[in-house]
A and B are shown apart, each in its own frame.
Chain A
Amino acid sequence: MPSILYRGRTCEVRDGQTVLDALLAAGEPISYACRAGACGACVLRATAGEVPPEAQLGLRDAWKARGCFHACQCRPYADLTVEPIGEGMRVPARVESRSMLSPTVARVVVRLDAPFDAAPGQYVTVQRAGVARSFSIAARAERTIELHVRRVLGGKLSPYLCDEALPGDALDVQGPFGYCLYAVGRPEQPLLLAGTGTGLAPLWGVLHDALAAGHAGPIHVVHGAVDPSGLYLVDELRALSAAHPAVRYVPSVLRGALPGMEEGSLDEVVLRHVPRPAGARIFVCGAPDIVQLLKKRLFLAGASLREILSDAFVPAAS
């Protein structure tokens, strides 16, 4: 039975148990959220011992090199020495400002109190009072990041961020995670940005990075929601599309479309506008089942798998 040395304490890992479960069982207050190796809340760092590769899936190479791993995905075969991830990966931060983008989505700007290397489109885990949740970076400046937060009824963090957060409130920010970011190069390549709900946040970030880099190829932005109340930044995206002929913005809803919106499921609307996605660079973000379906349909329609970057917003485990 392998054992874990964590902050000077040793605990045993039962057969098939994850590092997260073993440490929680031993009473260690490890943060976690999705338990699916996606949110990054439970990422720890091994300073001795071998980490199974599946526990490092999705982490950046720089993190892997430092021995970081998802505790919820780590079933060790041998003893591990483990510590919380270090300086520069988790930074203290403060709420800078908060405003509503729609009745249910807030724009929260967070000021980072230490250098933080993250690109728009990647995501971070925000922690406050022992609760950790993940949010995508919609924009960033030298020392701030901007997040889109949907208010989840009965949620443990979003009601605070949407309705109560005051400038100066302390938070911890951990990350960044994910690969949904605009990599400079091939400026003529068509881009397809599609997502649901606050999946718009990373797409907004990628869109602005692409335009700032002088991307010249056509850019489709398809934002889907159940009904028009779920869409936001509609006027801003229309203005952007009017200012940049290459940008085509398609607001899309399942029902109750207003003038200028399309009706249908996201995959149908996307394929209506981009029937032949071969050769395009594609970003798909939002509800996991829709992300999964859209990726599959785009792939079957000719998109290359390595050109599809996605970020499924996995809900927190209760």
Chain B
Amino acid sequence: MATIYEQLGGAPSMDAAVDIFYRKVLSDDRISRFFEGVDMERQAAKQKAFLTMVLGGPNGYTGKDMRTAHAHLVARGLNDSHFDAVVENLAATLRELGVGPEQIAEVAKIAESVRGDVLSK
């Protein structure tokens, strides 16, 4: 069965997905402060890698990457509520792209698998 990543059109479709997802995240008062002052191109590249991973596309993500990349945010107070907010934005992005509720639940499950690493648990 095709992955959601393939259904959406693979790598070329990820730019549009990142635009929607990143815009939601930056507009979300619960989490936008964690994105203050970051380089937008680099951040977009990271989000593309993240979306590609959770949608079932090719990825080289490791738990260690996630831990190292988010450690400075955990030090600034990143916690479960913020992780939940990102997953909400992810679900809303996929709804906008026409992905069905069952598949969104699958994606949320994959996103859940990195919660511990992201939050340095």
B120 to chain A minimum Cβ distance, whole angstroms, is 21
The stretch of A133-141, A155-163, A292-300 in contact with B is: A292-300
Give the distance in Å from the alpha carbon of A1 to the alpha carbon of B37 in the complex: 33
Contact in complex: A299, B15 (CB < 8 Å):
no
- Interface mask (A301-313 → B, CB under 8 Å = 1, otherwise 0): 0001110100000
Q: Are A305 and B26 neighbours in the complex by a CB distance under 8 Å?
A: no
Q: Are A296 and B15 in contact (CB under 8 A)?
A: no
CA A57 – CA B39 in complex, angstroms? Answer: 12
Question: A305-B19, A305-B22 are contacts. A299–B40 as well, Cβ < 8 Å?
Answer: yes
Q: Is the CB of B19 within 8 A of A295?
A: no
| Alpha-carbon distance A304/B15, docked complex (angstroms) | 9
For A295, the closest partner residue in chain B by CB is B40
Is A299 a contact partner of B26 (Cβ separation < 8 A)? yes
Q: Is the CB of B26 within 8 A of A304?
A: no
Interface size class of B (residues with CB under 8 A): 10 to 19
A305 touches B27 (CB 8 A): no
Interface string of A276-296 (1 = CB under 8 A from B): 000000000000000010011
State the interface size on chain A (CB cutoff 8 A). 10
Q: Which residues of A contact B22 (CB under 8 A)?
A: 299, 305
Contact B40 A304 (CB under 8 A): no
Q: Given known contacts A305-B40, A305-B44, is B19 in contact with A296 (CB within 8 Å)?
A: no
Give the residues in chain B near A292, CB-CB below 8 Å: 37, 40
A292 to B41, CA, bound (A): 11
Q: Which residues of A contact B26 (CB under 8 A)?
A: 296, 299-300
Q: Which residues of A contact B30 (CB under 8 A)?
A: none
Tell me the A168-212 residues at the B interface (CB within 8 Å).
Answer: none
What residues of chain B lie closer than 8 Å to A296, measured between beta carbons? Answer: 26, 40
- CB pair A299–B37 under 8 Å, yes or no, is no
Task: Flag if B37 contacts A305 (CB, 8 Å).
Answer: no
Q: Give the docked Cα–Cα distance between A200 and B40 (Å).
A: 22
Could you give, for residues 10-44 of chain B, a 1 whenever the CB lies within 8 Å of some chain A CB and a 0 otherwise? 00000110110011001100000000010011101
Establish whether residues A300 and B41, one from each chain, have CB atoms under 8 Å apart when the complex forms. no
In the assembled complex, the Cα of A303 lies from the Cα of B26 at a distance in Å of: 14
Q: Across the interface, name the chain B residue whose C-beta is closest to A305.
A: B44
Task: Tell me, in angstroms, the Cα distance from A304 to B44 when the chains sit together.
Answer: 11
* Contact status A300-B44, CB under 8 Å: no
A303 — nearest CB in chain B belongs to which residue? B19
Contacts of B27 in A (CB 8 A): 300
The interface centre, meaning the residue of A57, A300, A305, A306 with most chain B CB atoms within 10 A of its CB, is A305
For B26, B37, B41, B44, the residue with the greatest tally of chain A CB atoms inside 10 Å of its CB is B41
Query: Which residue of B has the minimal Cβ distance to A312?
Result: B39
- Find the residue from B23, B26, B37 having the highest chain A CB count within 10 A: B23
In the complex, A305 Cα to B18 Cα: how many Å?
Answer: 9
Taking A299-B26, A299-B40, A305-B22 as known contacts, 8 extra A-B pairs with beta carbons closer than 8 A to each other, sorted by chain A number, are A292-B40, A299-B19, A299-B23, A300-B23, A300-B26, A304-B16, A305-B15, A306-B15
Q: List 25 A-B contacts (CB under 8 A).
A: A57-B42, A292-B37, A292-B40, A295-B40, A296-B26, A296-B40, A299-B19, A299-B22, A299-B40, A300-B23, A300-B26, A300-B27, A304-B15, A304-B16, A304-B19, A305-B15, A305-B18, A305-B19, A305-B22, A305-B40, A305-B41, A305-B44, A306-B15, A306-B19, A308-B40
Chain B residues with a Cβ under 8 A of chain A: 15-16, 18-19, 22-23, 26-27, 37, 40-42, 44
Q: Which 9 A-B pairs have the closest CB atoms?
A: A305-B44, A306-B15, A304-B19, A305-B19, A295-B40, A300-B23, A300-B26, A300-B27, A299-B23
